[in-house]
Structure 1
Amino acid sequence: MPTLPRLTALFLALVLAALLPPRADAWAAKPKPLKAQADTEEVVPTVRLPDTVRPLRYRLNLTIDPDQTEYSGQVEIKVALSKAADHIWLNGRDLDMASAEVVTAAGEHLPATWDQVTPDGVARMGFPRSLAPQTLTLRFTYTAPFDPSLDGLYRVSEKGLNYAFSQFEAISARQAWPCFDEPRFKTPYDITLTVKAGDEAVTNTLPVREEAVPGGGRRLTFAPTRPLPTYLLAFAVGPLDIVKGPTIPPSGARRRPIPLRGVALHGKGPRLAYALSVTPGLFLTMERYFGIPYAYGKLDLIAAPDFDAVGMENAGTIIYSEQRLLVKADDTVDARRRFLVLHAHEIAHQWFGDLVTPAGWEDIWLNEAFASWLAPKAVDAWQPRMLTARVVEQEALEAMDLDSLASTRTIHQPIATTSDIETAFDNITYRKGAGVLSMVEGYIGPDAFRKAVATHLRRHIDGVATAQDFFGALADTVHDPVLVDSLRSYINLPGVPRLSLGWTCPRTGLQVLTAQRRYRPLGSEAATAAHWTLPLCVRPGAAGTTTCMMVTATRQALPLNQSACPAVLIPNATGSGYFRLSLTTEHWRRLLAVLPRLPAAEQLALLESLWGEVAAGHQPQSLYLTAAVSLATVPAWDVASAPFPRLKQLLEQAPTDSDRAALRLFLLQAWRPVLARVGLTPGKLDRVAPENTALLRDRLVAFLALELRDEDVRMRLMALMRTSDTQPPAEIRATGMAVMAQELGRPYINGLVDQLRSSTDAEEREMALDALNRVTDPTLAAEVRDMVFAPWLKLNEVNMLIRGQGRESSHVPAYWAWVQANMAHLRARGSSATLGALTLPLEGLCSTTAADQVEGFFRPMAAELEGGGRTVDQAVERIRLCAAQRSGPPPQTPTPEQKQ
């Protein structure tokens, strides 16, 4: 079927815009029943409600029919009023309130008014008179539309069947029911769901009673929940497949087994088999780590087809995107590995986040950082062959790019607006936060760290806690105030430390010399004055003994208990330090001589530090190329492939075509022999180390075929793709599809579009989108962009398509023109996440003029973007830094002497 013409796409977008419910920024135009005149002299609360009223328990009675455009609810909230008042503040957004009343402790029923005061859902409930402090019951009857942007309670359709799913984190529960929508308010919930005939309903607990209702529907009453904040509730309603998984057996102090279920769209239940089969082992590994019995009675894994959050840790009811949950036992190693780490992350939250919840959004970093730290550790303990042991360190190194921006934020971010809540969920929280926790654990040891975690959780079971509470548990465990100072310095200071390091050997023995300041890349205007308390581990010589110490001063000489003077000092031994190193060129050359023999984590850390020095203009690019080539043949797949993203940057930022051609030839000569050893198809290495080889083949083939445009690799790959009896290994199929899209043009593109229009396989659809984002023909690339407006593309897939628009850098200028020309239609088609994603590919514009244009275009609409003004700041800064890199010295390929 032909691709969607531009005019048709435009027409569909305009129709869609007319049909969509009003946008959040137009809320004031919507009629508000039961509205009362607010007290104009009172300050309206923003992200934090007053402490004068506190919820004690909710009773939710919702009627959810995904065949309709809205749902209805009857809600009771028991609250404690601690100060006399004639009104209270709570949360509710775009709720059509039919009635509201308050029931006093004496049983008096009083009518109440309801007024949504702010666009993001702060509401005022007015009483007919001032009420004394007491326990009150708030009652509401209302209807609400299903959300069109994958927030709150939203509706999706597939094969003519309709479903409803929820995503309440961070502050979208207020779109589903009137509530106190903050993490600190944890209460039990009594939930009743009424659904039509043929529909199933899933929430945080199992049903305890079922009643028939007129019309053939059912009313399901569920067991009361344990205390939960609003954002951890979950709902799934529709003609769902509910698959019973293997029961999780009793373990340790938990005497009861845990029923395990998988939930998917109608007909997709069989695809849950792999996820259900691996869950008990991973779950028990996690439970043993915490030493606290699982609290929530059952565990459901829900596959949502249009879910942009990837995974959400709702208590006892985890929701995943279909692309991540519906993996198969014979899927690629990478797909299974990504799922296992994600799955472990969400299971970890059942304790750290659900059982003990952050008291406020400013501490959400600890919740997410901890789960990001523990997840790969748990997978490695359970299935070491999945090679997740270095995930935390690797991802922390990747976070340093974001953390190197002047516009980055601190891990512990003050929350003043709802935009601040949105930006709290980025790689500073997840990856930098996890890296800092890994550094702390490495310094005090895993046993002490685990004991501190258990102490923290046991002190706050079913409650909330702050980061300071965690620091207290850590201090009580290790009795080292300097360590807590170090953690505080890392969470309260933005940026990456740049640690200058050397050594001297006076008569008193070996001394390590350090100096620190904030790292900044070439072209950055970030202030460099900063001072961290920084754990440092060093080793004299490749085979020496590692010693760890704490760097507490801006400049410091740290003695080592060694009299011999080493030929080389290994800095950041263990590789877990969150900093970039600044070394002399001679020190770097000595390190490169031993680099292939160092442990993999140290190789990764040193390689990234060297890249940082190149990006800052302190070391020549030829030195980085020398290091990258020296690691090309190391066994560890993640080390061997680590340079690929940086090498792509060097290619794209090469100032002239001849510079680019020379660098490309150098890289081909270095990595073609590696592919000859690994092979396009399985061979000897696969029998020795199958997972490692598959992961390396995946990255290596993509680098050679798509970034270096190796014609031989591309032709061989296409031949494998075309031969029905010799399909390529699963791990390189996505690259093969991308090459076919580039080489075969319209006929192949039409086939991918047909697949998107007809297939319900989420993984296949994602691969098709990835291939379409690799199209090189400008005309076809324009048609791919216009697919954003196609009604058969799911909203999370729209976001995937937009985020991938920078993969072929030559198309970025055309993409930028398209964004400017289509903004009205993009507003109608997408969400705040969609609009925020529009800025991501623009780094490739790489000029100061373009940075000014992007600034001028997006700044006036910053409030509409997910992340607000910071999203604009970071997009503009990335473009300026790219321009500074491109105007720097041209890339230099190493001389033969340097390569040795």
Structure 2
Amino acid sequence: MHRLIRPFAMTALALCCSAAFAATSADSVPHGELPKWAVPVSYRLAFKVDPSQQSYSGTTTIKVDLKQASDHLWLDGRDLNVSKVTITDAGGKTHDGKYVAVAPNEGVSRIDFGSTLKPQSLTLTIDYTAPLNQQLQGLYKVSHAGVPYAMTQMEPISARYAFPGFDEPRFKTPYDISLTVPSDEVAVANTKQISETPAGDKWKTVTFEQTRPLPTYLVAFAIGPWDVVKGPDISPDAYRSDVLPLRGIAAHGEGHRMQHVLSETPSIIHTLENYYGFGYPFGKLDLLAAPDFSAGAMENPGLVTFRDWLLLLDPDSPAKYVRGSFNVTAHELAHQWTGDTVTLAWWNDIWLNEAFATWMQQKVTMKVHPEYRADLDRITGAEGAMQNDSLVSARKIRQPITGNGDIETAFDGITYQKGAAVIGMFEGYVGEDVFQKGMRAYIQAHKFGNATADDLVGAIATAAHQGDAFKHAFNSFLDQSGVPYVQTKLEQKDGKTVLHLSQSRYLPVGSTGDAKRVWGIPVCVRYGTADGSKVSCEMFDRPTGTMTLAGASNATWVMPNAYGRGYYRFSLAKSEWAELTQHVASLSDTEQLAYADGIDAGFRHGELNAADALNALKPLASAKTREVVVAPLPTVEWIYRNEASTEAQRAKVVGWVKDAYLQRMEQLGYQRKAGEPDGDSLLRSTLADVLALDFKIPEVRTALLKQGDAALAKKADGHLNLTSADPDLLGDALAVAVQERGKPAVDALIAEIPQTTDPAWRNAMLAGLSAAETPELADEARNFALTKQVKVGEMAAIVRGSHDTPAARDALWQWFTGHYDQVLARTGSFASGMLPRLVSGGSCSTAEADRLQAFFEPRLKDITGADRGLAQTREQTLLCAALKAKQDPDAILH
């Protein structure tokens, strides 16, 4: 699953105690893993669904291996109205059973047999009805252009909303799926359709091939008046003998916009097959553009589902959508091997799915679209994860599961970006070819089954001829939270240049954490020589150590994260920072990103002040590579928002920004040029957003306002003239127009959004509304977000609004606390783990931390997963306040 790192998006999830969250006996309610003495063997799922209705009916037939005598078994089911349970024993005798929802808030249910049955093969047949979910879980209802559709999102634990079953990843079985649907609608599922038969007046039954063994969370189907577009067949290769048929599925009238993604897909599949040495095993491949969706995308084998704006592309689509489409498609298709073919055994190892799909997506992108610079994406993603990983409340990659909330909140930057960075770091340590050999062995050993972290780490260690020390080093990143902090000091000794190393846990100013922690870190150092530079690497697995820098020049410089691939932060003495700054232009792009993160780390650790940081970051703004150019901005924005308090201080930061970026912005211009690299389009978009909306640079706001006014002008047909703005800048142009024109602009957008189905235009208009600055207009926009004119998956784009100033955060807080029940009613408890960050992200005072705690603490019992979101948002707020208190604002002026 690709998780969008935003509130309300699930974003396409170490055993605790002895088994999951609690040991399970035959007669106790399993508040964790289901007992292993009743195991599903296969499912037959039959559904009767009309998307125009509010509910559907289903019959689930499960063959079960009952391994011990019992008068009941446990399974999962939530919000199901079960009318009949039939139990067929091994001899073919049938009798009635009883379905009991024992823990309805968790979805845990029991089937009572009526008598004790000896171990045997049983068949359970369960007839039920259920509502079409309104919160994007299980089997849910959406609409496009006023027309209803029904589709599924089962991961992580939402299959229980759709059908009764054993809703855990370790239970992999084949499924036979049949869908009875209105005769004029299209039904698609994981596998190829094998028959279609009439089923009474205006109904038909569509039956599909049996699936490969799957866990419940990968079962997928969809019903509606879909456009079905044939893509290019994916040709056979050395690992797959049959042609792989490819199709695009989109809401009615949108199918023609899927040609771009369909044309890119064969190269992704072939690249993955070549890497794993294992052909795509699922028979057919459909890519579905969902009208509303909780994640970015979901890797259901044979039927991969996406947010519609990732697939519905035109020649003038924003560059971020075109590039994002490829990256997310590569991520989901990488899952067909890591996640679908080999599945995690329990949710503590969700990184085996998501970290590896993120890492593999980047390898695919580097091969097929090297200009997209996925190598830099991995580093920026890792550095983003480090911000969260610096919290005492941060998750481990392999986080023990103590409840459903831990499952639902496991889809975060630690699982995805930190996990991918750690994989890339150890791949660099053993070598790409060796790592590939280990991955191929891992896939072959566990294909169509389940695996654990030990299986994967063991496969890599075997391929690399590494022993327990390697496994311990790898596991040190999986089984403990935090970012290693490698502190260095140069010494000339006996004619040699020696680099002294020490490691601890990186903790920012104000943290209450314990810094004493040791990892096995593959440390690589670049250092200056008479004729350039060299790199020295070693496994650093002790609190302190040394490296001899052979051939170093007498007055050498050091870059303690050569290649930028190490998942750690580093520290230098001020004089050594100055030396490195003098040589920053000679570093690679990846190393320059690591340099920027090192400056930010030193600033947040209290070793550098604002002037130090601004001076050290300035050279990066003139770099050639987009990702490097914008790398200073998070640090500079923090200084501007939280430290600069006087007009002189704020003017100093704005002057720094103008000097660093305004000329670059003007060189790029405010319109996409024919044939320009998409990196230019992306840089234009980033700089326009930051300069106009964060730093309020007049020249940029004037240019964007001109486009915003033109976009808000009505055409002859009464619609807004949205094509008049540059497609990459439309959201920013509308945001500036909302801030400058006020209520007429807000009202125009609120009137237009319900009449617009184009997802890119909708996203741009939502961005415009979210920029409203006065409390009255911001509240008008947020009230609109609660209506059905805004999709559930779009709500947060408006609600989160502006967090830039205390006044803006206070206004959001007042609105949110007054509308809390309405927000929760639309999103459901599943998305509520994100609510503390939604309403309080960017806060920077003890008072804000305290009001957040006071509001959410008594509500935690009702909102699954919010305890972690509360702890992390509160800690981030207190750390921001501590850093603000530590820094001297007058340093900005020096």
Query: TM-score band, normalised by the shorter chain?
Result: over 0.9
Is 1:259 the equivalent of 2:257?
A: no
- Relative to structure 1, the CA distance from residue 413 to residue 480 in structure 2 (aligned partners, 3 Å threshold; closer, same or farther) is same
The one of 260, 267, 277 aligned to 1:274: 260
808-817 or 172-181, which deviates more: 808-817
Is 1:702 the equivalent of 2:689?
A: yes
Equivalent pair of 2:190/2:300 in contact (CA under 8 Å): yes
The one of 792, 796, 803 aligned to 1:806: 803
754-763 or 672-681, which deviates more: 672-681
1:679 Cα offset (Å): 3.0
The one of 613, 622, 633 aligned to 1:644: 633
Aligned equivalents of 1:302, 1:351: Cα separation in 2: 19
Question: For 1:351-409, what per-residue CA distance to the aligned partner results, in whole angstroms no more than 9, with x for missing partners?
Answer: 11000100110111121001011112211201222332311111001111111111111
Aligned equivalents of 2:315, 2:434: Cα separation in 1: 37
Match of 2:126? 140
Give the secondary structure class of the aligned counterpart of 2:253. Answer: coil
1:510 Cα offset (Å): 3.1
Q: How many percent identity over aligned positions? A: 37
Match of 1:88? 73
Match of 2:679? 692
Is 1:678 the equivalent of 2:665?
A: no
Equivalent pair of 1:799/1:837 in contact (CA under 8 Å): no
The one of 502, 517, 522 aligned to 1:530: 517
Is 1:570 the equivalent of 2:559?
A: yes
Match of 2:85? 100
1:518 Cα offset (Å): 0.7
Equivalent pair of 1:741/1:772 in contact (CA under 8 Å): yes
- Relative to structure 1, the CA distance from residue 847 to residue 893 in structure 2 (aligned partners, 3 Å threshold; closer, same or farther) is closer
- Relative to structure 1, the CA distance from residue 490 to residue 562 in structure 2 (aligned partners, 3 Å threshold; closer, same or farther) is same
| 1:41-190 paired onto structure 2 within 5 Å | 42-118=27-103, 119-190=105-176
1:894 Cα offset (Å): 7.0
Normalising by structure 1, we get a TM-score of: 0.92
Give the secondary structure class of the aligned counterpart of 1:376. Answer: helix
Is 1:626 the equivalent of 2:592?
A: no
Is 1:556 the equivalent of 2:541?
A: no
127-136 or 348-357, which deviates more: 127-136
- Relative to structure 1, the CA distance from residue 167 to residue 807 in structure 2 (aligned partners, 3 Å threshold; closer, same or farther) is farther
Aligned equivalents of 2:402, 2:442: Cα separation in 1: 27
Match of 1:332? 318
Aligned equivalents of 2:840, 2:388: Cα separation in 1: 15
Match of 1:284? 270
Aligned equivalents of 1:566, 1:125: Cα separation in 2: 75
Match of 2:4? none
The one of 489, 510, 528 aligned to 2:476: 489
The one of 527, 531, 535 aligned to 1:540: 527
1:789 Cα offset (Å): 1.9
Aligned equivalents of 2:805, 2:215: Cα separation in 1: 43
- Relative to structure 1, the CA distance from residue 544 to residue 655 in structure 2 (aligned partners, 3 Å threshold; closer, same or farther) is closer
Equivalent pair of 2:833/2:868 in contact (CA under 8 Å): no
Aligned equivalents of 1:682, 1:202: Cα separation in 2: 39
Is 1:666 the equivalent of 2:663?
A: no
| 1:229-240 paired onto structure 2 within 5 Å | 229-240=215-226
Give the secondary structure class of the aligned counterpart of 1:670. Answer: helix
AA paired with 2:430?
A: I
Aligned equivalents of 2:584, 2:890: Cα separation in 1: 21
Equivalent pair of 2:692/2:700 in contact (CA under 8 Å): yes
The one of 377, 395, 398 aligned to 1:409: 395
Match of 2:7? none
Question: For 1:51-78, what per-residue CA distance to the aligned partner results, in whole angstroms no more than 9, with x for missing partners?
Answer: 1011111011111111211111111111
Aligned equivalents of 2:319, 2:517: Cα separation in 1: 42
Match of 2:835? 838
AA paired with 2:191?
A: T
1:613 Cα offset (Å): 1.1
Match of 2:20? none
Question: For 1:68-120, what per-residue CA distance to the aligned partner results, in whole angstroms no more than 9, with x for missing partners?
Answer: 11111111111111111111111111111111121111111121111111121
1:206 Cα offset (Å): 1.0
Equivalent pair of 1:173/1:181 in contact (CA under 8 Å): yes
1:731 Cα offset (Å): 2.3
Is 1:785 the equivalent of 2:782?
A: yes
Give the secondary structure class of the aligned counterpart of 1:819. Answer: helix
Aligned equivalents of 2:107, 2:554: Cα separation in 1: 65
Give the secondary structure class of the aligned counterpart of 1:262. Answer: strand
Question: For 1:215-237, what per-residue CA distance to the aligned partner results, in whole angstroms no more than 9, with x for missing partners?
Answer: 12111111000000000010110
Give the secondary structure class of the aligned counterpart of 1:178. Answer: coil
- Relative to structure 1, the CA distance from residue 887 to residue 808 in structure 2 (aligned partners, 3 Å threshold; closer, same or farther) is closer
1:198 Cα offset (Å): 0.9
227-236 or 856-865, which deviates more: 856-865
Aligned equivalents of 1:311, 1:872: Cα separation in 2: 26
Match of 2:6? none
Match of 1:10? none
Return 5+ residue gaps in structure 2 as ranges: 1-23, 712-720
Match of 1:223? 209
668-677 or 270-279, which deviates more: 668-677
Give the secondary structure class of the aligned counterpart of 1:302. Answer: strand
- Relative to structure 1, the CA distance from residue 324 to residue 468 in structure 2 (aligned partners, 3 Å threshold; closer, same or farther) is same
Equivalent pair of 1:622/1:891 in contact (CA under 8 Å): no
Equivalent pair of 2:138/2:159 in contact (CA under 8 Å): yes
Give the secondary structure class of the aligned counterpart of 1:371. Answer: helix
Give the secondary structure class of the aligned counterpart of 2:384. Answer: helix
Give the secondary structure class of the aligned counterpart of 1:94. Answer: coil
699-708 or 220-229, which deviates more: 699-708
Is 1:512 the equivalent of 2:522?
A: no
Equivalent pair of 2:248/2:286 in contact (CA under 8 Å): yes
Normalising by structure 2, we get a TM-score of: 0.93
386-395 or 407-416, which deviates more: 386-395
1:566 Cα offset (Å): 4.8
Match of 1:27? none
Equivalent pair of 1:92/1:179 in contact (CA under 8 Å): yes
Aligned equivalents of 1:145, 1:65: Cα separation in 2: 11
1:833 Cα offset (Å): 4.8
Equivalent pair of 1:819/1:838 in contact (CA under 8 Å): no
671-680 or 89-98, which deviates more: 671-680
Aligned equivalents of 2:61, 2:53: Cα separation in 1: 24
Aligned equivalents of 1:880, 1:690: Cα separation in 2: 42
AA paired with 1:520?
A: L
The one of 845, 848, 864 aligned to 2:846: 848
Return 5+ residue gaps in structure 1 as ranges: 1-38
The one of 374, 380, 390 aligned to 2:366: 380
- Relative to structure 1, the CA distance from residue 375 to residue 810 in structure 2 (aligned partners, 3 Å threshold; closer, same or farther) is farther
Aligned equivalents of 1:467, 1:837: Cα separation in 2: 27
Equivalent pair of 1:261/1:276 in contact (CA under 8 Å): yes
Question: For 1:303-355, what per-residue CA distance to the aligned partner results, in whole angstroms no more than 9, with x for missing partners?
Answer: 11110111000011101011222122432222111111111000000011000
724-733 or 137-146, which deviates more: 724-733
The one of 309, 315, 321 aligned to 2:307: 321
Aligned equivalents of 1:506, 1:424: Cα separation in 2: 48
506-515 or 640-649, which deviates more: 506-515
1:846 Cα offset (Å): 1.7
Is 1:730 the equivalent of 2:719?
A: no
Equivalent pair of 2:77/2:165 in contact (CA under 8 Å): yes
Equivalent pair of 1:508/1:563 in contact (CA under 8 Å): no
Match of 1:33? none
Question: For 1:411-451, what per-residue CA distance to the aligned partner results, in whole angstroms no more than 9, with x for missing partners?
Answer: 10111211110121111100111111111111111111111
AA paired with 1:490?
A: F
- Relative to structure 1, the CA distance from residue 588 to residue 138 in structure 2 (aligned partners, 3 Å threshold; closer, same or farther) is same
Match of 2:716? none
Equivalent pair of 2:38/2:65 in contact (CA under 8 Å): yes
Give the secondary structure class of the aligned counterpart of 1:142. Answer: strand
1:290 Cα offset (Å): 1.4
